[in-house]
């Protein structure tokens, strides 16, 4: 199995920068702002033939008070340390030693887990006396590195892997097979319960769930397996209206969320029953539809509203989300874990519909039957003539129809064809795109 390396330290010492350097990605949001990372963030790294898993954590405050988001972040860090084989304790070489560093060092010493003390932001300090004070922590040698510039990072990870018990230097990590994994992104407005839902599925407090909008700032990916089917659950930051996004960090969070939607196989759109269906919910749903992702809609906090509010909410969904009629709708309570099991059947059905294979002979026969039942109206001098159809893509399914004068086919007839194709192939939970391609006239004068 791959060794697990956890990055631990107080806020703003450069853990996420080191995470991106070790994984060779830009998955973790990096900015000069304390407390940016809040959840555990996993990534894969490689050193020669040796593979490892690296875990980024939020700023660690071991003695954070009850009811504070920093206490929730500290719990995430403790869990990451418990899962790890070796800990990289990151300190700030330029800011110097702090009382919080002492608290973290005392915590790590009590655990007795292999630990490497790393002084980040140490550009030009490799021989400097500034690093001497960190020996007070009692964790042995201090390794000066620069996560931003990559200096000393290779020797740091070599030292860390050498301290993993029973790991041979030439041991190769097991290749991770992602074939057949469904990437499920949970999207919605801030504070609708996205992290709470994923925690309920996992059966543990894997993500920070706090009663404060904007708790999640990054797109956090969590592997999960259910009934033999592997999933990659992606928790995203809540999407607010563009006019209310002021901080640069929140703009990065929005980009990460939109990327997670585009890279998903299925998107679970989560609504808040207590807030109703807002314009922003409709905007998010529209973006999912434009991206061509399969979608399942879930109304969270259903238990928190009365019968009259439920009736009003049903009407709002019919009016504002009418363009998602093809998607399954569920009423759930993530906090009380009510109605969660049926979600998985709809997610599997949406994914299967998005990846459905549609043979050309069947499509052509369905097209001919549709035209025989109702031919497209005449546009101008010629009536559109449809000859045959074939599949042009999956996720979302694309049907390409060839013929003459198809540029005159009205939108109403396109919707008529979509309905017949959906019914024939049982396409539920996925957009269906129909493209018309008109044959050129070889006798037309240039």
Q: Number of C-alpha atoms within 13 angstroms, CB side, residue 324?
A: 31
Q: Which of 297, 251, 254, 258 is nearest to 277 (CA)?
A: 297
Q: What average pLDDT does range 352-364 have in this prediction?
A: 94
Radius of gyration over every alpha carbon of the chain, rounded to an integer in angstroms: 27
pLDDT score for 252: 53
Does residue 286 have a pLDDT over 70?
A: yes
Per-chain mean pLDDT for the chain: 81
pLDDT score for 369: 94
Does residue 250 have a pLDDT over 50?
A: no
Instruction: Count other C-beta atoms under 10 Å from residue 375's C-beta.
Output: 13
Does residue 105 have a pLDDT over 80?
A: yes
Q: What average pLDDT does range 251-263 have in this prediction?
A: 72
Does residue 28 have a pLDDT over 90?
A: no
- pTM of the predicted model, to two decimals? 0.66
Q: Give the angle subtended at the CA of 437 by the CAs of 433 and 441, to the nearest 5°.
A: 170
Does residue 397 have a pLDDT over 90?
A: yes
CA distance 15 to 8: 7
Query: How far is residue 63 from each of residues 75, 150, 204, 207, 254, measured CA to CA in Å?
Result: 11, 32, 22, 20, 32
Instruction: Count other C-beta atoms under 10 Å from residue 330's C-beta.
Output: 18
Q: What average pLDDT does range 281-309 have in this prediction?
A: 90
Pairing of strands 41-47, 294-300: unpaired
Q: Which residues pair with 391 in a beta bridge?
A: 399
Query: How far is residue 342 from each of residues 60, 136, 197, 277, 332, measured CA to CA in Å?
Result: 37, 55, 14, 22, 10
Q: Which of 183, 182, 188, 218 is nearest to 334 (CA)?
A: 188
pLDDT score for 355: 93
Max avg pLDDT among 36-50, 189-203, 228-242: 189-203
To the nearest 10 degrees (0 to 180), the angle between helices 153-162 and 15-23 is 80
Which of 69 and 368 is assigned the larger pLDDT?
368
Contacts of 362 (CB under 8 A, 6+ apart): 424
Which of 393 and 205 is assigned the larger pLDDT?
393
Does residue 333 have a pLDDT over 80?
A: yes
Task: State phi, psi for 44 to the nearest 5 degrees.
Answer: -105, 135
């Amino acid at each position: 199995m791959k060794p697990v390396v956890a990055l631990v330290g107080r806020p703003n010492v450069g853990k996420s920068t080191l995470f991106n350097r070790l994984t060779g990605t830009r998955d973790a949001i990096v900015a000069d702002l304390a407390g940016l990372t809040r959840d555990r963030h996993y990534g894969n790294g490689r050193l020669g033939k040796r593979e490892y898993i690296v875990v980024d954590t939020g700023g660690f405050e071991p003695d954070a008070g009850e009811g504070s988001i920093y206490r929730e972040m500290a719990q995430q860090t403790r869990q990451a340390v418990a899962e790890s084989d070796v800990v990289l304790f990151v300190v700030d070489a330029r800011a110097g030693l702090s009382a919080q560093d002492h608290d973290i060092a005392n915590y790590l010493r009590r655990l007795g887990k292999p630990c490497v003390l790393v002084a980040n932001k140490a550009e030009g300090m490799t021989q400097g006396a500034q690093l001497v004070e960190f020996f007070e922590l009692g964790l042995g040698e201090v390794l000066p590195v620069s996560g931003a510039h990559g200096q000393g990072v290779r020797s740091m990870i070599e030292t860390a892997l050498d301290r993993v018990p029973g790991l041979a230097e030439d041991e190769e990590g097991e290749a991770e097979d992602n074939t057949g994994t469904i990437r499920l992104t949970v999207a919605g407005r801030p504070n609708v319960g996205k992290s709470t839902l994923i925690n309920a599925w996992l059966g543990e407090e894997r993500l920070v769930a706090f009663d404060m909008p904007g708790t999640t700032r990054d797109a956090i990916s969590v592997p999960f397996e259910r009934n033999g089917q592997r999933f990659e659950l992606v928790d995203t930051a809540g999407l607010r209206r563009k006019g209310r996004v002021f901080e640069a960090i929140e703009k990065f969070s929005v980009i990460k969320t939109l990327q997670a939607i585009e890279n998903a196989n299925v998107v679970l759109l989560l609504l808040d029953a207590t807030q109703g269906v807002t314009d922003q919910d409709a905007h998010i749903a529209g973006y999912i539809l434009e991206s061509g992702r399969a979608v399942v809609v879930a109304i969270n906090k259903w238990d928190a509203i009365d019968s009259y509010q439920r009736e009003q909410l049903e009407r709002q969904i019919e009016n504002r989300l009418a363009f998602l009629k093809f998607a399954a709708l569920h009423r759930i309570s993530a906090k009380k874990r009510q109605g969660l099991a049926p979600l998985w059947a709809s997610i599997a059905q949406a994914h299967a519909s998005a990846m459905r294979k549609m043979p050309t002979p069947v499509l052509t026969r369905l097209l001919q039957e549709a035209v025989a039942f109702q031919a497209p109206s005449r546009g101008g001098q010629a009536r559109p003539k449809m000859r045959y159809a074939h599949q042009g893509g999956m996720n979302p399914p694309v049907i390409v129809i060839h013929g003459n004068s198809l540029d005159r086919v009205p939108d109403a007839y396109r919707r008529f064809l979509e309905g017949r194709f959906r019914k024939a192939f049982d396409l539920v939970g996925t957009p269906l795109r129909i493209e018309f391609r008109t044959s050129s006239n070889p006798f037309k004068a240039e």
